[in-house]
Every structure is written in C-alpha cells, then in structure tokens.
Chain A
C-alpha cells in the first residue's frame, strides 16, 4: 500500500524558513514524479512544485525563488525548503504522487500545516 507521510510543519515568523519532508513507502519512489500542493485555510487547492524522476523541476510563480523542491531516492523522501516565508504561505501542504498512467495525482499524504505569523 502506498503511503505518503508529511512532516516538518509548524509556526514560523514572517521571513523565516521551514523544511517539509514527505516519507514515501509502498512504491518504487525513484520511479515517480512527485509534487507539493497546498491549501490555505478555507481556500482551494494550489499546486506548488513538481520534481520528475529525472530531476526536472517546476514551481508556481507564487513560490519561485523562495521554495526549493528536492528528493532523496535512497531515503524514499521528498522535501520542500521554504525560505522568506510570508503570511500568505500559511496553508496545509500535501505531497502527492503523479499517476504513472495519467497527468493526475493518484496518492496524497494527509498534509502538514504551516502557519506564518508573528
């Protein structure tokens, strides 16, 4: 069974940094594209970042230059380094796996809450 478990969320002051992790199990992690998707309180889903199995990376404009996605295939883990955090980065952050057969997200973690506030 595929499991994705996020960690690393918490309360951080504006301008601060945080590193999110996503531990994957039940899949050959190195073979899959992975994503971070966030959801601000009471708002819709917002795609944040993508990393392919080969290392191709994309970012949403809202986080480009501040967030860095990475992966460690040996540890079956996905990361999101978040710097220069702002109040509007407050959200639940989900890691999600690309489906191998369609451009959809077929497995999601339960999310980790990031709150940016002074």
Chain B
C-alpha cells in the first residue's frame, strides 16, 4: 500500500496549511499524522483521521475521504515548520505500518 504526499508546502504565518496524503481508498482506513522537527523524533499530532492527542493545539485538524486524507494547520506559526508524515495500518498485509513520503512545511 502506497501513500503519496507532496514534497513541500509553503505557507505564510497566520494562514492555513493543507497537507494531503493520497492512497487507494484511503477513506476506508484510519489515518494518523506525525510532525518531525529537525533532529527530533516524530510526534503524533492527529490520530484516527481527526482526533488530537493531549497537548496538541486545536489548530491541527484532519479529514479523510475517498482517496485523500488531509492534515490542516490553521493560523500557522513559525514553530509549525517541520516535516509531516501520514501513516496507516494496512490490515491486509504483514507489513502493517505504512508511512507516507513526507511533506516539508516551510513557514515564509
């Protein structure tokens, strides 16, 4: 199962960033999103399409339908500059964890 993300996304502070994750019928799966800043471990920011772990700002939201899942970051701040990865659990495979190709978000 392949998850495709755009390599990069640029957004001005205060604007909205939308990061897509494409996969065949991804809407039938639960999608999770991770943020990774340089030199740091990934951090889960959205799970099960649209839920947020404790401590993650409400500015981070997600949606999932058809062949595309989307992570939305509202009111972007400089601290949101990072790489973002989507991930699904592929129940039909013995390679259960599948990560997307990653998107570098640059805050202008």
A residues at B contact (CB < 8 Å): 35, 37, 44-47, 50, 58, 60-61, 94, 99, 102-106, 108-111
Q: Is the CB of A102 within 8 A of B47?
A: yes
Q: Is the CB of A47 within 8 A of B47?
A: no
CA of A1 to CA of B5 in the docked complex: distance in angstroms? 33
Inter-chain CB contacts under 8 Å: number: 66
Sample (24) of A-B pairs whose CB atoms are under 8 Å apart? A37-B97, A44-B99, A45-B42, A45-B99, A45-B102, A47-B96, A47-B98, A47-B99, A50-B96, A58-B95, A60-B95, A99-B47, A102-B32, A102-B47, A103-B30, A103-B88, A103-B96, A103-B97, A104-B30, A104-B48, A105-B87, A106-B44, A110-B40, A110-B41
B residues at A contact (CB < 8 Å): 30, 32, 34, 36, 40-44, 47-48, 51, 53, 83, 85, 87-89, 94-102
Task: Return B67 CB to nearest CB of chain A, in Å.
Answer: 19
Q: Is the CB of A94 within 8 A of B44?
A: no
Choose one: A44, A47, A105; the contact of B102 (CB below 8 Å): A44
Given A108-B42, A110-B40, 7 other A-B contacts at CB below 8 A?
Answer: A44-B101, A47-B95, A58-B94, A58-B96, A102-B30, A103-B88, A103-B96
- Taking CB atoms, residues of chain B closer than 8 Å to A50 are 96-97
A106-B53 CB under 8 A given contacts A35-B97, A45-B85, A58-B95? yes
Q: Interface residues of B: mostly helix, strand, loop or mixed?
A: strand
CA of A60 to CA of B98 in the docked complex: distance in angstroms? 10
Q: Is the CB of A94 within 8 A of B97?
A: no
Most chain-B CB neighbours within 10 Å: which of A35, A94, A108?
Answer: A108
Task: Return B52 CB to nearest CB of chain A, in Å.
Answer: 12
Q: Is the CB of B102 within 8 A of A111?
A: no
CA of A50 to CA of B95 in the docked complex: distance in angstroms? 9
- Give the residue name and chain of the A residue nearest to B94 (CB): A58
